Amino acid sequence: MDCDVLVVGAGAVGAVAALGLRRQGYRVRVLDAGQPMEAPTGEAIDPRVFALSPASIELLESLDLWPRLAPRAQGYAGMTVWDAVSGSDIRFRAAEFGLDGLGAIVENAALVSAAQAALDDVEFGAALAAVDETTDAVTVTTDDGRPVRARTLLLADGANSPGRQALGIAVSGRGYGGRAIVCHLRSERGHDVTAWQRFLPSGPVALLPLFDGRVSLVWSADDALADRLLALDDAAFSDAVTEATAGRLGALHTPTRRFAFPLRRQTAERFTTRRCVLLGDAAHVVHPLAGQGVNLGFDDLRALLVAMPDPDVGLRAAALRRYERARRADIAQMSQGIDGLDRLFSTANPAVSTVRGFGLHLADVVTPLKRRFAEVALGVKPGFPSASG
């Protein structure tokens, strides 16, 4: 046996999973088809950022990664969500939930490079070509013909997971008929250590606070609008973002290069096989409006660490079944909640807008409704503390 656990994929979820399992005493090898991630430096900020939940930050702290990330992380204590049609809004503040903060915005490159550096022995340029499961082991063959044999295989190789495809696991879901446009901008009024999100009939637009005072834009737009936005020059694009966010942060300007990626919801028909576990995007992809993708992947990892605490025992069949049931239930709840928000807000129908506006106002003043909204919008799980304890 070459190792106890083989992890395929050294992105955020895969690399952190390897660190967590090593901390529990497992012999872990990590393969990745790409090259090492370079740590971001200076003024250039990775266009891809994560909105980490308090639980995800706690996980990274437990693995001694957070000190490496903190200098380029921006915590936020507030979030404001409002409806472009009705004008109603809902505001979240960390203190009302008994929390020090609602989360932190961190660059993908900062997180991945820190985790890869902590591992120090990722085998890069090693693409998965085949997977063979037997009763007592699983063997991965790389594209250069090398076999790697392990007791358990973790697939954290992305939404188009070659490992998942090699196992013959199908996916279900749907496209949202649009793209998310991302870039960073400067704002006239700063960001007030707050995450901002406005729901337009064409899709939500979010401004996330960055450590250098700028904001990171995530604008989910239908394909026609996305084409128009990508074709604008920087000045016209900045004006469009300022208008789309109703000038809440004043004039937005000096955008970085724009990127766009398709919006979709996707869930694997199975998260586990006899000796394999899918983690993160390999198992599930959700709409980015709540920014919960990487947090759900870290939730996978925490559940897995509970399921396999002892390297002498590994991942037993009963624990594997419990893991599958628990994660599928959590993903279904979050995915359906996000889907519901998208359907509710992505319409200008006057009747729906009236009900929606009243609902937002009601949720802002009725604590149980607000807490449920927070579970979806912030990734805060049931049972989180209240300000009164």
Going by pLDDT thresholds of 50, 70 and 90, the confidence category of residue 88 is confident
- Give residue-wise pLDDT tens across range 155-205: 999 999 999 999 999 999 888 889 999 999 999 999 999 999 998 888 889
For residue 57, give Cα distances in angstroms to 74, 117, 188. Answer: 12, 18, 29
Going by pLDDT thresholds of 50, 70 and 90, the confidence category of residue 343 is low
Q: Which string of DSSP letters, residue by residue, matches 107-147?
A: EHHHHHHHHHHHH---EET--EEEEEE-SS-EEEEETTS-E
- Give residue-wise pLDDT tens across range 41-82: 888 899 999 999 888 999 999 999 999 999 999 999 998 988
CA–CA dist 85, 279 (Å, integer): 38
Which structure tokens are listed for 239? 């004006």
Q: How many residues does the chain have?
A: 389
CA–CA dist 218, 258 (Å, integer): 10
CA–CA dist 353, 271 (Å, integer): 38
CB 210 within 8 A of CB 273: no
Q: Is 7 helix (H, G, I), strand (E, B) or coil?
A: strand
Domains with residue ranges and CATH for the chain? 3-47+110-173+264-343 (3.50.50.60)
Query: What is the bridge-based pairing of β-strands 147-155 and 276-278?
Result: parallel
CB 107 within 8 A of CB 46: yes
CB 127 within 8 A of CB 162: yes
Residue 2's CB is within 10 A of a number of other CB atoms, namely 14
Which structure tokens are listed for 85? 């049609």
CA end-to-end distance (rounded Å), the chain: 49
Which structure tokens are listed for 89? 């809004």
Which residues share a beta bridge with 316? none
Burial class (CB in 10 A: 0-12, 13-18, 19+), 361: middle
Going by pLDDT thresholds of 50, 70 and 90, the confidence category of residue 91 is confident
CA–CA dist 97, 91 (Å, integer): 12
For residue 9, give Cα distances in angstroms to 29, 167, 205. Answer: 11, 16, 30
- Give residue-wise pLDDT tens across range 262-317: 998 899 999 999 999 999 999 999 887 666 789 999 999 999 999 999 999 899 99
Comparing CA positions, the residue from 205, 201, 288 lying closest to residue 252 is 205
User: Vertex 160, ends 155 and 164: CA angle to 5°?
Assistant: 40
